[in-house]
Structure 1
Amino acid sequence: MATAMDPESYTTTKFTLNNGTTIPGVGFGTYRIRCGDVIMKVVDEALAAGYRMFDTAAVYHNEGHLKKAFQTLLPKYGLEREEIFITTKLSPSDHGSLEVVRKAYKHSLDNLGLDYVDLYLIHFPGTAKLACDDKRNIDIRNMTWASLVDLYDNGLVNAIGVSNFTVKHLQQLLRSNHGVIPAVNQVEWHPFYHQQELLDYCKENDILLQAYCSLGGTSANNDSLLKHPLVTKIANKLEVTNAQVLLRWALQQDIAVIPKSTDPRHIKDNIALNFTIPNEDMRILSDLGSHKIKYAWDPSVVV
């Protein structure tokens, strides 16, 4: 897995996945953006700002809106399909056999108006309608991964990975010997909640960690991290925004980010990360996680 490039090139920096596919270090997240007009506006702003990676999921219910946005806006910016990187994710309700997974993948492709996506992820280690402690989760998870491997081996997707997988889930998957190691593990990761063991394991096994909730609980109207006094102090010293500090903190650990915003100014700021946080301030930010404040669903309870 390639490390990020020098600070001056963070807008266009890419990571190289374990199969040779490259992925932009800064992508655009679309969680909870479900209005077609808003999707059109933010994708327009994002493309203008330089974003070339877009993240969605079946459970976001916005793939169809993204289809219209891409069809309208890629020609506007003189872009071909191959010049943007698109990720979507398999719903927990579609885990299981190859037939089920293929149908779900095709449905996402049809929604997005694409022949393929660049990265397809298992969205969560648990299966819908199964209790978290139900051991069938393990077998179904393995079957689901085997189905994604089949899609990959048949050239239907450029790369495959997982989301919200703990070290335990990754170890189980790697022991199952499917022949393909996840290229990406997308997880909640910010100064209030980060797990060094998970980062170390992913780096040791050439799995790129990609962060969501980089700004804390802003999707749930909780800005306690974004407005934390220490984050503000560092941002003021570096003459950048608080959000830029939080995103750069992840990038300096070789973790990709997918910030989301509907504000044109924030969309531009969130990809303008050409500065360096000093080591002392990196430690200050990391130490904010001593009490571990989590905002998203908790995969650790899934067997």
Structure 2
Amino acid sequence: MSSSIKSTIKLNNGINIPVIGLGTYLTEDSDIEQSVRSAIEQGYRHIDTASYYKNEKKIGDTIKQLIKEGVVKREELFITTKVGTWQHGYENALKAFEESLEKLQLDYLDCYLIHYPGTYSELPKGESMSSLRSKTWKALEKLYNDGKVRSIGVSNYTESHLHELLSQCTIKPVMNQVEFHPYLFQESLLNYCKSNDIVLEAYGSLAGGNEILTEPVVLEISNQINKTPAQLLLKWAIQNGLIVIPKSIKSERVIENSLLDFEISQENIKKLNLLNKNKRFYWDPNNVN
């Protein structure tokens, strides 16, 4: 399975998404320009952000400048952002989208996701989280039908959240972006998504840093195949059928994270799968009703 910076897969609505993207989770304004610029100059075409990250404006500025310089064309890019936990609801989500679009200084988005199935705001009177989620999705369907976004999906959804959504939506989500690494090998969710033609996209592939990067099994395999632990973990996710969006503000790491044109043997894939301990480093959506 080839995994170069140019590799793409087809989403369930027929559009292509690069398999390797740049994550920008809480990247500071002072670092975001360097991170995005170096990624795009190195050939990245997929950038992932969110209203929650508070860096859409700086990303928009950088992309605009790179387009102006002739480094990249808008239509070559795949830009994703997300509805925040405090932006659930039909009108709220439509407003959130327009705010994000304005900050990113774009005419359309390539993908818009519901960031989380729950909210940290107080629920409106008489509203359940389930009905609020449903209204948020209806807003995304409208944006898709109006041609303002090329694809729509979700993030941090469990199988039960996806089952609920699939039972009522008129447009199926193209992806579910979740925490995924060998310590959190969500095999059941992965199989559920595959059977429903929903792509799983991994965030937190390096599991918050040193703990997994110094895991003996990870070190053993990475030494054996002469790749860095980070490259091994990213390629492991891709060989399990996922898209990856590693974050880095260092140019050399941005480049390293894209050099994934190698194969991990099935034996080593299984060894990494067996490291699972259902350990999360980020949000846990399992207790969101």
TM-score bracket, shorter-length normalisation: over 0.9
Q: Encode CA deviations 1:160-196: one digit per residue, 9 max, x unaligned.
A: 00000000000001111x2111001000000000211
Cα offset, 1:77, TM superposition: 4.8
Cα offset, 1:129, TM superposition: 2.2
> Paired residue for 2:99?
107
Distance between the aligned counterparts of 1:11 and 1:44, measured in 2? 15
> Paired residue for 1:122?
114
Q: Judging changes above 3 Å, is the alpha-carbon distance between structure 1 residues 77 and 260 closer, same or farther for their aligned structure 2 residues?
A: farther
> Paired residue for 1:19?
13
Q: Pick from 51, 54, 62: which aligns with 1:58?
A: 51
> Paired residue for 1:3?
none
Aligned AA for 1:80? K
Distance between the aligned counterparts of 2:71 and 2:48, measured in 1? 21
Distance between the aligned counterparts of 2:43 and 2:248, measured in 1? 14
Q: Encode CA deviations 1:25-74: one digit per residue, 9 max, x unaligned.
A: 00000001122x41111112111221100000000000010011111123
Aligned AA for 1:286? N
Q: Secondary structure at the match of 1:224?
A: helix
> Paired residue for 1:202?
193
Whether the 8 Å contact between 1:185 and 1:207 is mirrored in structure 2 is yes
Distance between the aligned counterparts of 2:77 and 2:196, measured in 1? 26
Unaligned regions of 5+ residues in structure 2, if any? none
Q: Secondary structure at the match of 2:92?
A: helix
Identity percentage over the alignment?
42
Q: Encode CA deviations 1:223-273: one digit per residue, 9 max, x unaligned.
A: 100111111111111111100000000000110000001121111010100
Scaled by the length of structure 1, what TM-score is found?
0.92
Q: Pick from 214, 230, 233: which aligns with 1:246?
A: 233
Distance between the aligned counterparts of 2:26 and 2:96, measured in 1? 20
Q: Encode CA deviations 1:202-221: one digit per residue, 9 max, x unaligned.
A: 01111000000000113xxx
Cα offset, 1:135, TM superposition: 7.7
Are residues 1:38 and 2:31 paired?
yes
Q: Encode CA deviations 1:123-181: one digit per residue, 9 max, x unaligned.
A: 000023248xx9811011111111111111111110000000000000001111x2111
Runs of 4+ in structure 1 displaced over 4 angstroms?
A: none
- Select between 24-33 and 65-74 the one with higher mean Cα deviation: 65-74
Unaligned regions of 5+ residues in structure 1, if any? 1-5
Q: Encode CA deviations 1:89-146: one digit per residue, 9 max, x unaligned.
A: 001111112x221111000000000111100000000023248xx9811011111111
Distance between the aligned counterparts of 1:213 and 1:246, measured in 2? 10
> Paired residue for 1:72?
65
Whether the 8 Å contact between 2:33 and 2:62 is mirrored in structure 1 is yes
> Paired residue for 2:149?
157
Number of positions where the alignment pairs a residue of Structure 1 with one of Structure 2? 287
Scaled by the length of structure 2, what TM-score is found?
0.96
Root-mean-square deviation (CA), in Å?
A: 1.4
Whether the 8 Å contact between 1:47 and 1:77 is mirrored in structure 2 is no
Whether the 8 Å contact between 1:90 and 1:123 is mirrored in structure 2 is yes
Whether the 8 Å contact between 1:130 and 1:137 is mirrored in structure 2 is no
